[in-house]
Structure formats: C-alpha cells, structure tokens
Amino acid sequence: MIALILGGAPSVFEEVRAAAALIGRRHMVVAANLAGIHWPGKLDAWATEHPECLGRWRSERKGPAAARYFVPAGLGLCPWAEQVRDRWNGSSGLYAAQCALTEVGATAIILCGIPMDSEAGHFINPGSWAGTGDYRWGFEAALREFGGRIRSMGGWTAGLFGKPSPEWVGAVENIKPLGSTAPQHARIAEMHTITNTGKSSAKFWAKDERGQLQLQRLAPGESVDAEIDPNQPKFIGGDLKLSGGDDAAKPATRTARPKAAAKPKARAARAAPTPAPVAPADEG
C-alpha cells in the first residue's frame, strides 16, 4: 500500500488531494511535524525530528489520534513514541518517509508538501526556509537506496525522484514492503493489573492469548490482568491505574468475567508432567 507523506509547504493539502485521486483507492497517511495537527483525517503515523514539540502538537491535533508516533532514537524524549534511528538526516519530512517505508509497511511513498525549495515557505510559518540546502543530500541518499519507491508531487524533490504516474502506482502498490514492525506497545509487553478509577469507560491496548494486539475496554471500577506496554499514553496521568509486574504465567482475566478465571486450570493441565517416555530419544 502506498503512503502519502505530509510535509509543511503551503501546497501540502492540495497535493495530498491530488495524490489520493491518482491512487484512487485505500492508502496510508503519515504526517511530519505541524501537518499532523491540521490533517483532519486518519493518521497511520506521525513522525518528527523535534520530539520536544510532539507532546504539545499531539494535544492540539484536530482529528483522531495517530495510530503510531515516531521520534529519532537516543534523545530520551516522548516515552510513548517509538524510537527509530534517522538513517538519512534529511528533515522531518524525509524521516516520516523513512518510517513509512521501514516501520509502517508502506510499499512506496508520495511526498506531499515536501518540495525542499527554500522559497516555497511553510503553511503555518510564512517566509523562506534557508535550511533546505543542508538537507538535500539526505534526499539524494534516499534516492540511491529506495528511489524506485519514492515520488514527489512538486518542487526540487519532484525533479529528484520524479512525479507519480498511474503506471508507477500500479507497479508499486502491491510489491513486497521493505519492512513493518508492530507498534511499540505490541513489542514491549508485561503483565499488569489495570484498574479503571474513573467514572466512565476507558480503553487500552493489550495482547490476547494468541499474542495479537486487541483494544480492551474497562468499565468504571473494573480491573483486569493483562499483558500491556505500561508506556501507553492512556496509563500516563489518566484514570487507568497499574499495579503488579511481569508475570508471564498469569492469564488476562477480568473481575467481571468469571469464565476467564478458569484459564489458569487449563494452562496448568497442559503444563502437567506426562509419564516418562520409554526411550530417552523420545524426550522433549
């Protein structure tokens, strides 16, 4: 699936509409920096090289929360965001493109509002951007590595990568992705007791018995033992309170669902020792 990368040039939303019309079917959207605040639709990811601003930007977002957040590794900020090394150092727009290709699972990307022309300006902050020349070498490095998967809707980057065409869309939308990782809260999981201390229902992500990520809901006053990432934003300063630590043998059970309480017995039965085999070769 192709991802549209939202940058900061004044043309960004016009180019997004044109690119979406060209694709003509479902696609991903990954925003960089301030574009994530003002894009009204779904965001598959939001990436920035300015993690010190992301918390404030996220609180100002006008649409639904982004599915995933990315910041460069090693800066020690935004514990609720996924940390991914910036491989090209070519602005937040190119970092968002990198995350779309290597983390989110996009087969190809279209840069929208990322012309890398200093005179193009910014849709929020008027005036030229003198730093474009410092970052162009990063885009050239991306061209050498993944150029066939990258196109741009305008500006210097369109001259570098080329503009998308219907033929290119047909060629890249179903090729094998470069890579895709599970969200951070799917990779980092410990057993905790979660209690909803608020007055309304609350949601959080947890692993089910198959290890798949599922959105869970707790009624007011309800508790559950579940395998979760404690760094989810829902657990930071909210009504969902955590207790307990890692206990891989502990099942995910709700106090309001007694059927789940029988699962430890089933697991214990499966773990019960079997009669010793006749020959050592049969062990294991």
What confidence score (pLDDT) does residue 251 get? 38
Positive or negative torsion for Cα 138, 143, 146, 149: positive
Helix (H, G, I), strand (E, B) or coil at 108: strand
Q: Model's pTM, two decimal places?
A: 0.67
Amino acid at 97: A
CA–CA distances in Å: residue 126 to residues 29, 55, 108, 134, 154: 24, 23, 30, 20, 19
What confidence score (pLDDT) does residue 269 get? 44
pLDDT, block means (10 residues), the chain with 284 residues: 94 95 95 94 94 92 90 81 90 95 96 87 68 83 95 96 97 91 65 88 73 76 83 72 57 42 45 42 34
Residues facing 150 on adjacent strands: 109
Under 8 Å between Cβ of 71 and 51: yes
What confidence score (pLDDT) does residue 225 get? 85
Q: Domain extents for the chain?
A: 2-172, 184-271
